[in-house]
Amino acid sequence: MAAGGFCKLPSGSVVVALNLPSPTAPAPTRTGAGLDDVRVLVLAQNRARALTRLRNLGLRAVYLRGNAAPPTPDEITAVLHHPDGLIWRTAPDNSVPSIPERTELWHPIRSLLRRPPVRV
């Protein structure tokens, strides 16, 4: 099950954060968190709409059970300032302390779901 959580904003909207296996990675043969997991943030009117936005993009098996990994204040700021309200980056490894110089920037969801060009 993917770790995730949500935070309700004063405006009434919700920010949902989920750690998911990368859709571009090969089929998982492991258990637990992998190195190719991604952290996805979604801004929506409610939790159901946030999950629907992800399902409409092709991430079909996305569920939010509980609030074990809610978005941090920095993540909330990042998704609020993005025009699409839907961003991702590689999931942080909690066993290694975060180094500010190595922090990955947020990417639009289109870059994650982009298919490689077909060769004819």
Helix/strand/coil for 4 = strand
Is residue 36 very low, low, confident or very high in pLDDT (cuts 50, 70, 90)? confident
- pLDDT, tens digit, for every residue of 40-87? 999 999 999 999 998 888 887 788 888 988 999 999 999 999 998 999
Which segments within the chain are labelled E, that is strand?
Answer: 4-8, 14-21, 37-44, 86-90, 107-108
> How far, in Å, CA of 57 to CA of 55, rounded?
5
Q: Is the pLDDT at 25 greater than 90, yes or no? A: no
Instruction: Write down how long the chain is.
Output: 120
